[in-house]
Structure 1
Amino acid sequence: MGAEPKDGATDRQMGPEAIRQRLPHRYPFLMIDRVLDYTPGESLTAAKGVSATEFWVPGHFPDKTIMPGVLLVESMAQACGLLAYVTREADAGAEMPATPPLFYLVGVDEARFKQPVVPGDRPLITATLDRVVRGIWLFKARIELDDRLVTSAGIRCTMEGA
């Protein structure tokens, strides 16, 4: 068995460093803290610890702080981008370029918001690959808190240069 990476990642998990190697986002717009499990070409589950020190807290409903819906969608899109990346990584093996490819968000379908996310919450973000059609990656994404649906949407991404 190989040594465990420094950031706590395993074969089916990713810690912060492994995520930063695969996503171009940086603070304050990196919306995924840890990947808990993934299967290339199928699904990925990630977590985000929502802190009271988030950049949006002072201005987004200061008397009743909730995470903005657009950031919930962004966290789902980042989970989808990570799933696309690890799928390409598994398909390419050692042939992945030194610079990670960029996956751009090109569509959000049927977004639904069922309950708020507030500081102190640790939402689980799940991305499931539906199919790839003419360079467009189609995903189903959802966010849950304590096994209750928070947000869901269809997410569409494309890879730069596709």
Structure 2
Amino acid sequence: MVLGIKEIMEILPHRYPILLVDGVLELELGKRIVGIKNVSMNEPVFQGHFPGFPLMPGVYILEAMAQVGGILMIKSLNLEIGKYAVVFAGIDEARFKKPVYPGDQLYMELEVISLKKTLSKMKGTAKVKDEVVCQAILYAAARELKDLQRT
């Protein structure tokens, strides 16, 4: 593993219950990243989505992909850790191909289309085993944490 949970928590400001990256398996600065999310029945979202037949919500899959992309942005642009957060700026062409269940391991690969602090664009693919479960074009921007706080 290239990055474990300790390093991920140093890079991302997210915490339970919305930290959705458990590890980074591959990292090519400025090019691509592969991250994983171990989907557990213990996650609070499954209390309501859906009782009796739990499915990982599509927005959670997209958020997990975005967090992996955020790690790539922060590392590639050499942004000061603890000073910046990467925020969603848009999503295009999101498609959900198959459901994700508790017990699955979600593999998320993001490839850079363009990489800038002000606006980055990445092509994301999420898989369980070798089956594509989600694809999307994700847009994100790096913002200083102090600028994100409501005054």
Output the TM-score relative to the length of structure 2. 0.90
Equivalent residue number for residue 12 of structure 2: 23
Equivalences, count? 144
Tell me, in whole angstroms, the C-alpha distance in 2 between the residues paired with 1:133 and 1:87.
10
- Letter of the 2:32 counterpart: S
Equivalent residue number for residue 78 of structure 1: 67
- Letter of the 2:60 counterpart: L
Tell me, in whole angstroms, the C-alpha distance in 1 between the residues paired with 2:107 and 2:4.
15
5+ residue gaps, structure 1, are 1-8, 90-95
Q: Are residue 39 (structure 1) and residue 28 (structure 2) matched?
A: yes
Aligned-partner SS, 2:46: coil
CA RMSD of aligned residues (A): 1.5
Tell me, in whole angstroms, the C-alpha distance in 1 between the residues paired with 2:117 and 2:24.
28
Q: Are residue 102 (structure 1) and residue 85 (structure 2) matched?
A: yes
Match 2:121 to one of 135, 138, 148: 138
Equivalent residue number for residue 56 of structure 2: 67
Match 1:121 to one of 94, 104, 122: 104
What do the CA deviations read for 1:7-60 (whole angstroms, capped 9, x no partner)? xx5xxx100010001101000000000001100000000111111101111110
Tell me, in whole angstroms, the C-alpha distance in 2 between the residues paired with 1:98 and 1:146.
32
Q: What displacement does 1:134 show?
A: 8.0
Match 2:135 to one of 137, 143, 152: 152
Whether the aligned pair in 1 keeps the contact of 2:21 and 2:67 (CA below 8 Å) is yes
5+ residue gaps, structure 2, are 145-151
Output the TM-score relative to the length of structure 1. 0.84
Provide closer, same or farther for how the CA distance between residues 134 and 84 of structure 1 changes in structure 2, counting only shifts above 3 A.
closer
Whether the aligned pair in 1 keeps the contact of 2:93 and 2:137 (CA below 8 Å) is yes
Structure in which a larger fraction of residues adopt strand:
2
Q: What displacement does 1:64 show?
A: 1.5
Task: Return the index of the structure with the highest Cα Rg.
Answer: 1
Aligned-partner SS, 2:34: strand
Whether the aligned pair in 1 keeps the contact of 2:22 and 2:38 (CA below 8 Å) is yes
**Stretch of structure 1 that moved more, 65-74 or 134-143:** 134-143
Equivalent residue number for residue 148 of structure 2: none
Whether the aligned pair in 2 keeps the contact of 1:23 and 1:100 (CA below 8 Å) is no
Tell me, in whole angstroms, the C-alpha distance in 2 between the residues paired with 1:54 and 1:134.
32
Question: Hey, which bits of structure 1, 4+ residues long, moved more than 3 A?
Answer: none
Equivalent residue number for residue 93 of structure 1: none
Report the identity percentage. 33
